[in-house]
Chains A and B, each alone.
Chain A
Amino acid sequence: MSADFATVLWKEWKEIVLERSTSGSGSYRPLILLVVLGIFVPFRMGPERFFTAAGLLVPTFFSAIVITAVIADSFAGERERHTLETLLASRLSDRAILFGKIAAAIAYGWLISAACILVGAITVNVANWHGRILMFHDAASWLILLIGPPLLGGVVATAGVLVSLRSATVRGAQQTLGVALAVVVLGTVFGSNSLPTEWKTWFARILLTWSQIDLALAAAGVLLAIDLVLLLAGMARFQRSKLVLD
């Protein structure tokens, strides 16, 4: 299983990299993200805001958005390019195919996030050089730095694979994911305003009284739970007989 998983991951990663290095405008997108999130935003934020747990949320969130394009292609792209049936006719297990594709998308988002944060750290240090290297100094920041991108990316990747498994085209999958993401973001913003006052008070008390590390751990727990639920849903939806005939 682990060898098959690594094989799918290898193939997916090659396809992701080649697609982005050979497809005209697609090759500039990671670069644009790197310039904006690695140079422009950190420069504006400065060391006081950049080297905090909250400062890491921006690259973590955008790296998760980047995953939507990759994961939309995972099954819908194979279907569109007529490679899915051959893949399904191979000895690869359902789990190796599914997990390999999800892991490749998460790894891509994680890499983008790490690159943005690394370039951001260099930018902030260069712009604010006082003879010593500035770095993240609290446990919550390091926790978000290390597990934030894979956990949030995992939510997007597992949700995305659910869509891609059923979608006839990559464009269709991207549109569905885009709408779903907008609904979640706007729903969170507007939904939080319309919550009952007691709930708002409860949330405010948590934000004010809990330490940053406790908040980060709680968020990680929630994201992990969502990841697992969506992964189980993806495993249930992955049925060779249906995928072959779709």
Chain B
Amino acid sequence: MEELAIRAQGLTRNFAAVRALDDLTLDVPAGSVFGFLGPNGAGKTTTIRLLLGLIEPTSGSAEVLGFDTRTQGAEIRARTGALLEHSGLYERLSAEDNLRFYGRVAHMPKAELDQRIQELLTHLGLWDRRKEAVVKWSRGMKQKLAIARPLLHRPGLVFLDEPTAGLDPVAAASLRDDLAALAKRWGATIFLTTHNMAEAEKLCSIVAVIRQGKLLAVGSPAELRARGGGQRTEISGRGFSDAMLANLRQQAGVSQAFVEGGQLILVLKNGGGDAQGVAPLVSLIVREGGEVQEIRSAQGSLEEVFLSMMGEDA
């Protein structure tokens, strides 16, 4: 039987009249990089808080590393690392002192802590500036340090809540590379929330999609792409008017229609990518005055699948 790092059963959390998490049932295999995808306000942060035993569920239950989140929160927090919504760095302290504090919190022996701080800061290119107060650093450097913090004591499970949020594309890509390298080298379970599909596709072996507290789908990125349809049809031609795009979006099999680089892109719902599904749409384009030169069919990206799910559920 597959070993699980997280097992949630019907996890539900209400805040007054608002249901932030609705009957979440989820298994996260040990050693996986698990992507928890959803738009802002979907319930991702609430899920992490529940799994860390920081708040109690209204109903349902969850086990993290074999510990009950309701009654054994302290045990869970002792065995996990977490980068939450904010970096959690003490900006008056130096980078080294920030890591030293959390290393001491994790009861790491001094020699091991010294070695680990050097290893992580060197890997992230921060070693030379370890004595500087963090307040003087760029956002990208702070975020790298924030990621090093929960990895410091090599926990069995790491929660990363939108680790690249707010970073410029170059810094985000660099951070993703660092994270992928660290995860591969050391093999812990990583529970990563994001609304960046490229990030999920690059890092995650399994992804789950959540919206308004409800789980919509779980699987590998490839499975989700296949399951969600996400069939992408690219049409080269001319005369793709706004009115035509609006009309196409109204069609039953179309989840998205937009013009990109002079091409009309149609993202089609389940099973709509075959000739029978595309033919009526091509007829419509021609009727509306468009000129079709070439039609290509391709597998959609995870982002398109995600957007398609968001559209279907709305």
List A residues at the B interface (Cβ < 8 Å): 3-4, 7, 10-11, 14-15, 18-19, 22, 81-83, 85-93, 240-241, 244-245
Contact = CB atoms under 8 A, between A and B. Distances in A.
B97 A3 contact: no
Contacts of A82: 85-88
A87 B91 CA distance: 14
B294 to A, nearest CB: 52
Contacts of B54: 85, 88-89, 240-241, 244
Contact of B104 (A7, A22, A81): A7
15 contacts: A4-B105, A10-B104, A11-B93, A15-B90, A18-B92, A82-B88, A85-B84, A89-B82, A90-B77, A90-B105, A91-B78, A93-B74, A244-B54, A245-B15, A245-B55
Given A18-B93, A240-B54, A85 B105 contact: no
Contacts of B97: 11, 14
B305 to A, nearest CB: 31
B77 to A, nearest CB: 5
A17 to B, nearest CB: 9
A86 B92 contact: no
Residues of A contacting B: mostly: helix
Interface string B65-109: 000000001100110001111111111110001000110111100
A70 to B, nearest CB: 13
Among A7, A19, A81, A91, max chain B CB count under 10 A is at A91
A245 B133 CA distance: 29
Contacts of A4: 105
Contacts of B87: 82, 86
Residue among B54, B73, B78 with the highest chain A CB neighbour number at 10 A: B54
Interface string B1-45: 000000000000001000000000000000000000000000000
A15 B77 CA distance: 24
B117 interface: no
Contacts of A92: 105
Contact of A86 (B56, B74, B88, B106): B88
B143 to A, nearest CB: 13
Which range contains the number of B residues in contact with the other chain? 20 to 34
A85 to B, nearest CB: 5
A11 B49 CA distance: 24
Given A85-B86, A90-B77, A241 B101 contact: no
A91 B105 contact: yes
B157 interface: no
Contact of A7 (B55, B77, B91, B105): B105
A89 B105 contact: no
Contacts of B106: 90-91
B177 to A, nearest CB: 24
A85 B88 contact: yes
A57 B73 CA distance: 45
A28 B74 CA distance: 41
B105 to A, nearest CB: 5
Contacts of B74: 91, 93
A244 B101 contact: no
Contacts of B105: 4, 7, 90-92
Given A7-B104, A91-B74, A91-B106, A19 B86 contact: no
Contacts of B92: 14-15, 18-19, 22
B100 to A, nearest CB: 9
